[in-house]
Structure formats: C-alpha cells, structure tokens
Amino acid sequence: MIPSSFPEQCEIARLTARMLLEIEAVHFNANDPFILASGKPSPTYIDCRKLISYPRIRSTLMDFLTVTVMRDVGFEAFDNVAGGETAGIPFGALVAERMALPMTYVRKKAKGYGRNARIEGVMTEDQRVLLVEDLTTDGGSKISFVDAIRETGAQCAHTAVIFYYGIFPQTKKTLDDHGVKLHYLCTWWDVLAEAREQGVFDEATLSEVKKFLDAPDAWQTERMK
C-alpha cells in the first residue's frame, strides 16, 4: 500500500532517531572508539541491519522512507527500485512493495561466473531507478552502485537511505557531482538530540560525541597519533 500522509520531515527525523535508540542500533563509546571501514576511529556506530528484526519499527520506517521520496521527487518519478548489496536489499524490497514497483538489487562486484552480472532482477534501458540503502557516510559506495545501474542504460538520479551521517560536508557534493540526489530520514544530529532528551547516555559520552560531530576529521586525527 502506498503511504500518502505522514508527519513533517522534522518529526520523521525525531521518530526515526527514537526508534534507532529503542532497539539499541545506536552505539556511543568515546573511551574505546569503533573502527570504521575507512580504518579511522569513531565514538559512534549505527547498525541499521537490526531494523529488519523489528516488524513495527521496520514497517513505520519504510513508510517514512517511501513518503519522503515521494514528497521530494514525485509520486510517478520511478520505474524500478534497486537495493544495494547487502544491507540495502531488504529495504529496497520493502520500498518497492510500497511503491508498487519492480525490485532489483545491485552487487558490490560481479560474481565472476554465470552471467557475471552486477544487477539481479529485471532492469531495462531508460528505466528511472531509485537506489535504496540502509545508510551513507561519504557516499562512495553509492557511486559504484549508481554506475552499475547506469551501465544497463537505466537512469539513476536518486538514492534513499534511512540514516545519513550528516557530518562529512563532501558527501552531498560527491553525490551531486555524480548527478545523484540524496534522500534520508535522520542524521547523527537527530540521534544526539533524541539521546539527550531521553537521557540514554551519560553527559560525558554525549559531550564527546558532539565534539566528534562538530569536527570529525580533527577528532579522528587526534586519536590516530
């Protein structure tokens, strides 16, 4: 069923942050930082994959993501929804169901046998494809997925995620320069605000997280010395 009426975007952001905190998908640890895929330290970590195990929250967030895209782009703006391997696949399927559209998924790399394809499912030339993922940090993986979609002759000018870090200024520019518009539900700033409101973490931890969010590169450089 296609959702059509939901809260304003600021309330969607707050509720999304609340749900992520409720299922303990958010982790803050300034004393023993997490190591990101880039190899750099971070006092924050989020696990959006947990969402698939919580049906009420999962359903609500997929409604939110669908209506956000429709509000931002249009109700008849897409012909296909593609999930990015692997975390984006279930969310891509759920959004496709709500938008009543075909669903495909994009491999990180060709599997090396058979058709040696990166696109699974049916994607045809000139289709307008929405790329769905769980989150984005610097936008790098999105570029690879978008390129794979475009290689089929299809169009991909939009990507939608549940969570956007919102602290690396180059992310949107990277995507914009590649002709891709980012749509998202909430950022670390929304999560930090809701965590303060709920008193989920101690003040010392929240203060250190804010230092990281204010200047992530400086925070990381200091701890890599």
| Long-range contacts formed by 103-112: CB under 8 A, 24+ apart | 104/80, 104/129, 106/82, 106/131, 106/145, 106/148, 106/149, 107/148, 108/84, 108/141, 108/144
Element (H, E) at 185: strand 181-187
Residue type, 190: D
- What local confidence, expressed as pLDDT, does residue 113 receive? 64
At residue 60, the pLDDT reads 96
What's the average model confidence in pLDDT over 207-218?
A: 94
The answer on pLDDT for 1 being more than 70 is: no
C-alpha distances out from residue 151 to 7, 115, 126, 148, 176, Å: 37, 15, 11, 5, 19
The predicted-structure confidence for 119-137, as pLDDT tens digits, reads as follows 999 999 999 999 999 999 8
ω before 86 within 30° of 0 (cis)?
Answer: yes
Tell me yes or no: is domain 9-219 CATH 3.40.640.10. no
Of the chain, the percentage scoring pLDDT greater than 70 comes to: 96
pLDDT tens per residue across span 165-200: 999 888 999 999 999 999 999 999 999 999 999 999
Could you read off the pLDDT of 153-164 as tens digits, one per residue?
Answer: 999 999 999 999
What is the model's pLDDT at position 37? 72
pLDDT grade, residue 18 (50/70/90)?
Answer: very high
Inter-residue contact 160 to 69 (CB < 8 Å): yes
Which of residues 139 and 22 earns the better pLDDT score? 22
Cα(176)–Cα(138) distance, rounded to whole angstroms? 12
Q: What is the pLDDT of residues 50-65, one digit of tens each?
A: 999 999 999 999 999 9
pLDDT at position 206 over 70: yes
How far apart CA 153 and CA 13 sit, in angstroms, is 34
**pLDDT for the residue 17:** 98
pLDDT value of position 185: 98
Express each pLDDT in 82-123 by its tens digit.
999 999 999 999 999 999 999 999 999 887 665 668 999 999
Are 10 and 193 contacting, i.e. CB atoms less than 8 angstroms apart? no
Q: What is the mean pLDDT of the chain?
A: 93
